[in-house]
């Protein structure tokens, strides 16, 4: 398979399309805002479809259509609109951070029309265009075999950085766990550097520490590489609010741990820390302060005393 339809040409979909084009895969793209296709218009073997109908018509059976859209209702609505346009043997790939149980249901629904479904966990972010994308794929052996030229073009190398995880739903399940682990790693790094910053008497050069850890240390990682880059420009942190969003994958991982009865305290507590940064602990913190006042007569800092 040397041609694919890409639905969603934003940061991820646009860069993935460009990587495919650079590896000899023709791309027909669709985006509800045509302006998103501008960065691809000069690329050889790229064409823009003005509608989903035009996109499907531009591809030969068996068609492969890769969705890089926000997870949830947006992805589902496009799949609903797309399904009547497809033929048996076509493949729909969902590259969003979709909940794996939704992916199982989508695969079952599409199979009734003879359409194959692949759930693709995608990791690599804005660096994927240059370095390749780590892909975690769920679906039939036949669909993965058909998609192999596309998978190998997107991956860091044809023989690494991607895995056929198993049946439908397994790709997004593995990606969910991947993101849960990511939460824990990020939290550990953040806490560790905060503790080092707290020892002002040592006057530690945190950027130098991070750079040293990048080489030979057992805690070296790509996340540490990125952290080192941030610390080189320490002033950039002064402009950042202490608010850390959560995409939903961390929540699903915590729920999965509860459903399976398997302890996952690091990932769960990392998620709780993100909630705390979003102001979700403000009420409990106020209540705790008042409890201390009640039983021990401890002073309470009022709003106008915070400075």
Is 304 a member of any domain? no
Same domain, 32 and 104: yes
Is 69 a member of any domain? yes
Same domain, 37 and 159: yes
Is 258 a member of any domain? yes
Above pLDDT 90, what percent of the chain? 76
Same domain, 77 and 134: yes
The pLDDT of 262-270, averaged and rounded, is 93
Same domain, 212 and 132: no
Specify the CATH number for the domain of residue 187.
1.10.1040.10
Answer yes or no: is pLDDT of 305 > 70: no
Can you give the residue range of the structural domain that contains 252? 176-283
Same domain, 34 and 128: yes
Boundary of a domain, candidates 166, 186, 206: 166
Same domain, 136 and 198: no
Is 59 a member of any domain? yes
Least trusted range by pLDDT, from 28-32, 178-182, 247-251 = 247-251
Is 291 a member of any domain? no
Same domain, 203 and 146: no
pLDDT in tens, 174-210: 999 999 999 999 999 999 999 999 999 999 999 999 9
Boundary of a domain, candidates 113, 136, 166: 166
Is 162 a member of any domain? yes
Cα angle, residue 234 at apex, residues 233 and 236 outer, rounded to 5°: 75
Is 171 a member of any domain? no
Specify the pLDDT at position 38: 87
Specify the pLDDT at position 166: 98
Same domain, 88 and 183: no
Answer yes or no: is pLDDT of 45 > 80: yes
Same domain, 259 and 181: yes
The DSSP result for the chain, as a single string, is --EEEEE--SHHHHHHHHHHHHTT-EEEEE-SSGGGGGGGTTSTTEEE-SSHHHHHHTSPSSPEEEE---TTHHHHHHHHHHGGG--TT-EEEE-S---HHHHHHHHHHHHTTT-EEEEEEEE-GGGHHHH--EEEEES-HHHHHHHHHHHHHHSSBTTBSEEEEESTTHHHHHHHHHHHHHHHHHHHHHHHHHHHHH-GGGT--HHHHHHHHTTT-TT--HHHHHHHHHHHTTHHHHTS-S-----SHHHHHHHHHHHHT---HHHHHHHHHHHIIIIITHHHHHHHHHHHHHHH------GGG--
Same domain, 14 and 130: yes
Specify the pLDDT at position 236: 64
The pLDDT of 162-166, averaged and rounded, is 98
Is 245 a member of any domain? yes
Boundary of a domain, candidates 138, 166, 194: 166
Answer yes or no: is pLDDT of 16 > 70: yes
Same domain, 139 and 47: yes
Confidence class for position 306, pLDDT limits 50, 70, 90: very low
Active centre residues (catalytic): 175, 182
Domains identified in the chain, total number: 2
Same domain, 160 and 257: no
Confidence class for position 307, pLDDT limits 50, 70, 90: very low
| CA contacts within 13 A on the Cβ side of 72 | 5
């Amino acid at each position: 398979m040397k041609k694919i339809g890409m639905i969603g040409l934003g940061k991820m979909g646009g860069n993935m399309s460009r990587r495919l084009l650079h590896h000899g895969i023709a791309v027909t793209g669709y985006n509800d805002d045509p302006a998103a296709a501008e960065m691809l218009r000069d690329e050889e073997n790229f064409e823009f479809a003005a509608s989903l109908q035009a996109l499907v018509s531009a591809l030969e059976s068996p068609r492969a259509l890769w969705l890089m859209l926000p997870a949830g209702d947006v992805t589902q609505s496009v799949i609903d609109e797309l399904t009547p346009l497809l033929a048996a043997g076509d493949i729909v790939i969902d590259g969003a951070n979709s909940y794996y149980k939704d992916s199982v249901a989508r695969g079952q629904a599409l199979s009734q029309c003879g359409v194959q479904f692949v759930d693709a966990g995608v990791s690599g972010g804005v660096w994927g265009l240059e370095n390749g994308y780590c892909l975690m794929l769920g679906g039939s052996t036949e669909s993965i075999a058909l998609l192999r030229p596309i998978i190998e073009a997107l991956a860091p190398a044809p023989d690494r950085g991607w895995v056929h995880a198993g049946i439908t739903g397994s790709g997004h399940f593995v990606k969910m766990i991947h993101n849960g682990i990511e939460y824990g790693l990020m939290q550990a790094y953040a806490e560790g550097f905060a503790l080092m910053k707290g020892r002002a008497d040592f006057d530690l050069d945190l950027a130098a520490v991070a750079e040293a850890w990048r080489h030979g240390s057992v805690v070296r990682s790509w996340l540490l590489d990125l952290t080192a880059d941030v610390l080189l420009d320490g002033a950039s942190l002064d402009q950042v609010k202490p608010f850390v969003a959560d995409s939903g994958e961390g929540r699903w991982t915590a729920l999965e741990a509860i459903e399976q009865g398997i302890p996952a305290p690091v990932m769960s507590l990392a998620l709780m820390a993100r909630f705390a940064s979003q102001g979700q602990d403000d009420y409990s913190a106020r209540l705790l302060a008042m409890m201390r006042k009640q039983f021990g007569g401890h002073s309470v800092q009022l709003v106008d005393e915070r400075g």
